[in-house]
Amino acid sequence: MPTTPFDSTLERREADLLGMWAFLATEVVFFGPLFFGYVHGRLVQPQAFVEGSHHMHIVLGTLNTAILMTSSLTMALGVRAAQKGARVRIWLALTALFGLAFLGIKATEWVLELPDAASASGGEARFYFLYYAMTGLHAIHLTLGVALVAWLWLHAKRYSSAYHAPVEVMGLYWHFVDIVWVFLYPMFYLLERYNA
Amino acid sequence: MTYFFTWAGLMICLAATLASSYVPMGAWNSATNMAISVAKALLIALFFMHLRHAGALLRIAAITGLLWLALLFGISWTDFGTRSISHAPWSAP
């Protein structure tokens, strides 16, 4: 029997999850300055931010939010399947596909918004800078998530009800990326929609 | 089944936040949007990320990031809130 620094499998499982939660805490602080920049800009140049927000594609943005939240459902179902030792591949595949759909729609939006962004000035330019920086950083995280979910899919045979820490830990990361988007969506798409 | 209810809750929140942004409420629009976003984040964290059944260690780790963010926001505001950018006489306006 191999020796481990843990007294029980329960303790080991908590250590696995703690590692990811600690990483997510650093991620919160990593995104933090951009959120601070947004709050500051929004208070200093509120009208420019509203103007910028009115150029966003509300239908695509809302659809993308729904897609990402659904991907979190399939990821959660995948983690539960892994815990039970049931089939995880179908859930991982769906999660990765929803993630890719989100990225495809997001890339389309970026291209559609480019002319507006390039001609913006002053506070509106700042809005677009934050928009591309924040949704870009989010998309990088999601791309990494899709790649890792695909990797889990490839090695799905390794996981059982006794060992599934990678799936569980990956689930936490995926949901975190979803939570970031939950805040980005109203910040960029929903400013004074009633005047749009 | 819990997961499907969580997902349904998220979808209802999405519909609510979208609908509320077409109702003119001034500053309350942002407050409503943020409150709904926090509700969505809580749904995801408690049910999808299993914090509801997690031990104290994981809960503390989850709160730590937010605590740090609050500290950094607070400290940064002491700068931005109490100072204005002043241009030197020789710099371009």
Q: Report pLDDT digits (tens) over A91-124.
A: 999 999 999 999 999 999 999 999 999 999 889 9
| Torsion A70-A72-A78-A84 (CA) sign | negative
Coil, helix or strand for B49?
A: coil
DSSP annotation of B48 reads I
Assessment of whether the complete model's pTM goes beyond 0.90: yes
Confidence (pLDDT) at A3: 67
Residues 23-52 of chain B whose Cβ lies under 8 A from any Cβ of chain A: 23-24, 29-30, 33-34, 36-37, 40-41, 44-45, 47-49
Say yes or no for a CB contact (<8 Å) between A17 and B58. Answer: yes
Confidence (pLDDT) at A149: 98
Tell whether B69 is within 8 A of chain A (Cβ).
Answer: yes
- Which residues does A189 contact at the CB level (< 8 Å), separation at least 6? A53, A56, A58, A61, A62
B contacts of A18 (beta carbons < 8 Å): 57-58, 61
A79: distance to nearest CA of chain B, Å? 9
Confidence (pLDDT) at A65: 98
- Best mutation target among A73, A180, A181 (most B Cβ atoms within 10 Å) is A73
**CA proximity to A23, closest of A141, A132, A134, A139:** A141
Tokens of A187: 């910040």
Q: Report pLDDT digits (tens) over B2-57.
A: 999 999 999 999 999 999 999 999 999 999 999 999 999 999 999 999 999 999 99
d(CA A151, CA A92): 10
Distance of CA A128 to the CA centre of its chain: 20
Residue ranges of chain A with per-residue pLDDT less than 50: none
DSSP H stretches of helix in A45-57: 46-54
Delimit the domains of chain B by residue range. 2-79
Confidence (pLDDT) at A5: 76
Q: A61-77: b or e for each residue (b if 16 or more CB lie within 10 Å)?
A: bbebbebbbbbbbbbbb
B84: distance to nearest CA of chain A, Å? 11
ipTM attached to this prediction: 0.92
Say yes or no for a CB contact (<8 Å) between A69 and B10. Answer: yes
Confidence (pLDDT) at B93: 60
Confidence (pLDDT) at A193: 94
d(CA A55, CA A127): 11
Asked if pLDDT for residue B87 goes beyond 80, the answer is no
- Which residues does B14 contact at the CB level (< 8 Å), separation at least 6? A62, A65, A66, A69, B40
Confidence (pLDDT) at B91: 74
Q: What is the average per-residue pLDDT within B68-80?
A: 94
Angular region, A111: left φ>0, alpha ψ -120 to 50, beta rest:
alpha
- Best mutation target among A72, A189, A195 (most B Cβ atoms within 10 Å) is A72
List the domains of chain A with CATH numbers: 9-195 (1.20.120.80)
Task: Return the axis-axis angle of helices A46-54 and A9-44, rounded to nearest 10°.
Answer: 110
